[in-house]
Structure 1
Amino acid sequence: MQSRTSLKSWQTLVTHAKEMKQKHMSDLFSENPARFEQFSIKLKPFMLDYSKNLIGKETMSNLIDLANECELEAWRDKMFAGERINRTEERAVLHVALRNQGNQSFELDGEDLNQEVQQTLMKMKAFSEKVRQGHWKGYSGKRITDVVNIGVGGSNLGPQMVTEALKQYSDNSINVHYVSNVDGTQIANVLRPLNPEKVLFIVSSKTFTTTETMTNAKTAMKWLVSSSFDQSAIGKHFVAVSSNKENATAFGIKEENIFDMWDWVGGRFSLWSAIGLPIALDLGFEPFIELLQGAYDIDQHFCEAPLEQNAPVILALLSLWNCTFLGAQSQAILPYDQSLHMLSAYLQQAEMESNGKSVNWHGEAIDYPTVPSIWGELGINGQHAFYQYLHQSNNVVPADFIGSIESVTPVKGHHQTLMANFFAQTQALMQGVDEKQVRDDLKAKGRTPDYINKVAPHKVHKGNRPTNTILMERISPRSLGSLIALYEHKIFTQGILLEICSFDQWGVELGKGLANNIEAELNDNKVNSHHDSSTKGLMAYYLRSKKHLNND
């Protein structure tokens, strides 16, 4: 099979990258006063400035050539048409059908998906309104005041990130909590202050077999039953989001309280589905629809905008350029808005679980770097933690800076200070400061020659560090939906360019399978001989130490 590296456009980019590595962004800005206008995209929910990348007209032209040679637009159309582009699992990839706010038809195997989606949305609406209005009662007849969402991965990160980001839009009639970690400390801390008579649990698991989720769900069930002294109370306090109705009903959840999940929706792209039920319960159903509308806006842009002006495509091409051709190994996500404090973690899963692969569509080993590791933190916090590394390390880390023009919680003077830092950091990362500038500055401040000679090399910033800037008007359900969809389509585009299966996650399965076997051994207090010496030694030490501590 032909590797991506054999494409004419790919080979052109390899040569071009060697040329661009000799350039500095400061010089590119000096040479082209119109650079910002040339390398930015203005959309209703946000503007994207990508001028602070080591690119020129030729770079972007070559990258667009690569997108065309990879038949990106044809693959995009296949996804929206419901073709089974998740080839290793033979599944369609149709999370876009979940937020279809127009007249587009989505069919799979002759079935109208729009009808299924609308039925689930209407069920979510009726349920969320019933709970929020106090008509859903617990086993003692009291209204629900708290919702605990039990899930892991996309079933947790998506809705939690959204409810945290949109906290200012909540009327606080329902308190929403999240449990994902199988470490008992988390669920114990969540349940401790709650009244079991007033708690509703949402168990989100497509298969209803996920070990972490089911362990937490069983603990929650025991906690409830120990209070109610009635097994039937489960039916009034538990609902499920799952495709496995048999397992959910066996758990004690009534069939009418099971919300559908489909195999054409991947977990990390599922917050638009009934996985987003905590969002509707927290904010109300109308804000949830606004979230879907924002995603739909970007779906339309992704399908209709030419590649040269297509924001998700540009982000994906730049990621490929910075990582695969220029050699960056990680990328930082840096929100300058407290509302987005979970965004870095959310995008970390979305991109790394999707495209952290080492074989291509045909199962052949890839001989080029793929996606970077994703990490990040809120901007100001990061400035006093790891920005030293961003500015002066030998490792160049491209970064996405995400900010808003208006704060959802305006406090006089705060937002201007925040945004001053926002703009300053991208400028500093791009421009840097050379030794002559450092020496001139120190001399102007009256420093001695000995001091200048000692300190000057330490104050040099090479600059030339690539950043994208996404500037939103204001965090709202609709703008947040657009931001999330922007990155979803970036991830899809990356996968096509890299010839990677973006919608499976086999790398998650190996450790989970081993853990199941090891757990059985730990429960039996017996270590099997087939493990390597390190694992055997650690397990044996754990069991001996646990026995010793229990005896104490």
Structure 2
Amino acid sequence: MTSPIPNLPSLQQLPEWKRFADAAEAASVRTNDLRILDAAGINVDITGQVASEELEAAGQALLEARQFGQLRSTLLSGGIANLTEDRAAWHTVLRAPAPIADVAAERQRMNEFVRQADSERRWRNIIHIGIGGSDWGVRLAINAFGYAGAWRHVRFAANIDGHAMQGALAGLDARETLVVLASKSFTTAETLQNGQRAREWLAAAGLENPGEHMAAITARPDLAAAWGIPQAHIFKLWDWVGGRFSLWSSVSLTTALAVSSDVVAGMQAGAAAMDNHFAQAPFAQNAPIQMAMAGVANRSVLGYGSLNIAPYDFRLAHLVPYLQQLDMESLGKSVDIAGNPVGVPTGPVVWGMPGTDAQHTFFQWLHQGSDGAPVDFIVCQQADHSWPDHHTSLLANCLAQREALLNGKTFDEAQQESLHAGADAQHAPWLAKHRVHAGGRPSSLVVLPKLSPYTLGALLALYEHKVFVQSVVWGINPFDQWGVEYGKVLAKGIVQELAGARPGPDEGQRHDASTRHWIEEFRKS
């Protein structure tokens, strides 16, 4: 490692942090003080977050104390932003209108590959094999823009569970199928094991050269070539592209084949527009910054342990797991970049599902549960179907649920409601206690004019930059994931033990009693 070990002051030692925390505790949700930000064509309504002039000033001072401006410049210019791995996190260059030469060349290669396949009407079926960042973004984009069907049929296999691969292969004609392997390292266990099953399936179908029916996106083209994948089918990643930010690269080959290269280009353009907003908009009008500071106040000061994502659009069903990985893999850290405990709660649990299904699943807990959670409502002002009454109902439900969380219902209001519903004077006060809504529960409303590749790209970049700003405040590195890596290392040893190998004395003692027991039990299966 060549980067010097940073000497970062502890967050709690900063007077700017105490000022911010005190201001957040004293602030309130000001429902009559409209705060709507315009960011790359998206409206971000943060009226439902706690606010005050003191909190606004304290947030700006805190970011200055954390050298936010310098760190943002490092990120956007391709400097060493990922200190623990001594490399850049330059995913923004992947969607730049005029990127560096390597990126432009790979973009052109991918588009030409898709154009040729389309012109030949080749590969009616695509099996996309990847996991995490090599999977969720592709699922999201295809579900968003191919939900009504496309001439190519796409299946996904991410999980190591053999049922996932079995289901992906079932009923397909191998001669009309392309298998896409997306793995930055080309050593990802799940991807290679599933890929091996796909290669065997292609060979069993009588194909002389199964590699001709495979493509790879990886930072190790040599390993992909060793698998027999032709060089023309191998697309380059770079070590400075984190998996959860790789959607903007040739990982979207499957997206381009399924719903067109224009969709990929549109998403890149929307994300680039959000990059410009993030780089140039002043603090008070900068949507990623404002969402981030609201999130820091909610998590680290006000004590909310989670963040609910409520996309009121059926096509955005995969947005929740996409944002779960982005947020929780980036911010699931408790040690700052200097190696010291952060000292305050960091990244929240991110969860949710599309409305209105969510209203019949967990909104009861959001409204009247003891803890509650901030909610990001996401909705499209215009629909793309021909049933306006459906969309009117969808918009009404989104606004109503948010209003209920913001304003609540007082005891007096609940009592009058009970009386009007026919309760007698004795029972009305009792019923009213069950109908009270506390209100004042924070939320944001993100409004897309309509769902297009451009607006989806801008939306995803909005959340990327929000996560980065929060990492700056907490002083953590959002670009590594050592917690994930540790489990992978342990799994390699256990795989060998389950296959019959006996652990060495140190390894056997390392296992806890329960793990030792189940290794022995599973070996008998």
Settle same-fold status: TM greater than 0.5: yes
In 2, the alpha carbon distance for the partners of 1:310 and 1:19 equals 23
Distance 1:375 1:442 in 2: 34
Question: What does 1:404-419 correspond to in 2, within 5 Å?
Answer: 404-419=380-395
Secondary structure class of the residue paired with 1:178: strand
For 1:150 and 1:248, how far apart are their aligned partners in 2? Answer: 14
The answer as to 2:50 corresponding to 1:71 is no
The 8 Å contact of residues 129 and 284 in structure 1, kept in 2 or not, is answered as: no
Q: Contact 1:320 / 1:494 at 8 angstroms: preserved in 2?
A: yes
**2:136 paired with 1:157:** yes
2:520 to 540, 545, 549: 540
Q: Kindly indicate whether the alpha-carbon contact (under 8 Å) linking 1:147 and 1:278 is maintained by their aligned counterparts in 2.
A: yes
The answer for the alignment partner of 1:194 in structure 2 is 172
In 2, the alpha carbon distance for the partners of 1:180 and 1:382 equals 25
Distance 1:46 1:410 in 2: 23
Per the TM alignment, residue 291 of structure 1 is displaced from its structure 2 partner at its CA by: 1.1
**Structure 2 unpaired stretches of 5+:** 1-7
Q: Provide the C-alpha distance between the structure 2 equivalents of 1:505 and 1:221, rounded to a whole number of angstroms.
A: 30
Whole-angstrom CA distance in 1 between matches of 2:136 and 2:177: 21
Q: Which residue of 1 aligns with 2:111?
A: 125
2:433 matches 1:457: yes
Q: Does 1:179 align with 2:164?
A: no
Q: Distance in 1 between matches of 2:224 and 2:379?
A: 41
CA deviation vs aligned residue, 1:380-408 (integer Å, no higher than 9, x gap): 11100000110011113001000001112
- Aligned partners of 1:94 and 1:527: how far apart in 2? 41
Whole-angstrom CA distance in 1 between matches of 2:347 and 2:76 = 24
Match for residue 348 of structure 1 among 324, 327, 351: 324
Letter in 1 for 2:137: G
Aligned length: 514
What secondary structure sits across from 1:181 in the alignment? coil
Deviation of 1:542 (Å): 2.4
Q: Paired residue for 1:259?
A: 235
Asked whether 1:2 is paired with 2:15, we answer no
Q: Decide whether the 8 Å contact of 2:40 with 2:458 is kept in 1.
A: no
Give the secondary structure class of the aligned counterpart of 2:135: helix
Query: Helix, strand or coil: the match of 2:444?
Result: strand
- Residue 533 of structure 1 and its aligned partner are, at CA, apart by 0.6
Identify the match of residue 376 of structure 2 among 393, 396, 400. 400
Contact 1:527 1:540 in 2 (8 A): no
CA-based RMSD of the aligned residues comes to 1.6
1:303 pairs, out of 279, 282, 285, with: 279
Match of 1:114 in 2: 100
Give the alignment's TM-score, normalised by structure 1.
0.90
Residue 372 of structure 2 aligns to a residue in which SS? coil
Specify the alignment match of 2:3 in structure 1: none
Q: TM-score by structure 2 length? A: 0.95
Equivalent residue, structure 1, for 2:5 = none
Shift of 1:246: 2.1
Say whether the 8 Å CA contact 2:313–2:354 is kept in structure 1.
Answer: yes
User: What is the distance in 2 between the residues matched to 1:381 and 1:389?
Assistant: 14
Q: Is the 8 A contact 1:527 1:536 kept in 2?
A: no
Match of 2:412 among 415, 436, 444: 436
Deviations 1:299-340 (A, max 9, x none): 111111111100111111111011111111100010000111
Once residues 168 and 209 of structure 1 are traced to their aligned partners in structure 2, the CA distance between those partners, rounded to angstroms, is 32
Q: In the TM superposition, what whole-angstrom CA distance separates every residue of 1:266-292 from its partner, at most 9, and x where no partner exists?
A: 000011101111111112222211111
- CA drift of 1:527 comes to 6.7
The answer for the alignment partner of 1:61 in structure 2 is 57
**Structure-2 residue corresponding to 1:144:** 123
- Give the 5 Å matches for 1:369-380: 369-380=345-356
For residues 391 and 469 of structure 2, the distance between their equivalents in structure 1, rounded to whole angstroms, comes to 34
Amino acid at match of 2:9: Q
Q: Structure 1: which 5+ runs fail to align?
A: 103-112, 136-142, 547-552
Helix, strand or coil at the partner of 2:97: coil
Q: In the alignment, residue 161 of structure 1 is paired with which amino acid? A: L
Paired residues of 2:379 and 2:395 also in contact (CA < 8 A): yes
Partner Cα separation in structure 1 for residue 102 and residue 517 of structure 2: 52
Q: Distance in 2 between matches of 1:359 and 1:44?
A: 34
SS of the equivalent of 1:300 reads helix
Aligned twin of 1:223: 201
Task: Tell me what 1:549 maps to.
Answer: none
Query: Does structure 1 retain, via aligned residues, the 8 Å contact 2:497–2:519?
Result: no
- In the TM superposition, residue 44 of structure 1 has moved relative to its aligned partner by 4.8
Q: Tell me by how many angstroms 1:228 deviates.
A: 1.2
Q: Give the whole-Å Cα distance in 2 for the aligned partners of 1:229 and 1:85.
A: 45
Q: Is the contact made by 1:89 and 1:504 (CA closer than 8 Å) also made in structure 2?
A: yes
Structure 2 residue aligned with 1:138: none
In the TM superposition, what are the counterparts of 1:429-508 in structure 2 within 5 Å? Answer: 429-508=405-484
Compare 528-537 and 326-335 and name the one that shifted more: 528-537
From 137, 145, 153, give the equivalent of 1:166. 145
Partner SS state of residue 392, structure 2: helix
CA distance in 1, matches of 2:50, 2:335: 28
For 2:25 and 2:313, locate their aligned partners in 1 and report how far apart those are by CA, in whole Å. Answer: 37
Q: Which amino acid aligns with 2:130?
A: G
| 2:490 match | 514
For the Cα contact (< 8 Å) 2:81–2:89, is it kept in 1? yes
Partners in 2 of 1:44 and 1:6 — Cα distance? 36
Cα shift readout 1:190-233 (whole Å, capped 9, x = no counterpart)? 11121011000111111111100000000000111011163xx2
* Mapped pair 1:98 → 2:94: yes
- Does structure 1 conserve the Cα–Cα contact (< 8 Å) formed by 2:418 and 2:431? no
Contact preservation (8 Å) 1:154, 1:271: yes
User: How far apart in 2 are the matches of 1:443 and 1:169?
Assistant: 48
Other structure's SS at 2:356 match: helix
Task: Give me the whole-angstrom Cα distance separating, in 1, the residues matched to 2:338 and 2:364.
Answer: 41
Query: How far did residue 168 of structure 1 move?
Result: 5.3
Shift of 1:409: 2.2
Matched with 1:12 is 19
Counterparts in 2 of 1:299 and 1:229: CA distance versus 1, 3 Å: closer
Q: 2:246 aligns with which of 255, 259, 270?
A: 270
| CA–CA distance in structure 2, aligned partners of residues 394 and 491 of structure 1 | 27
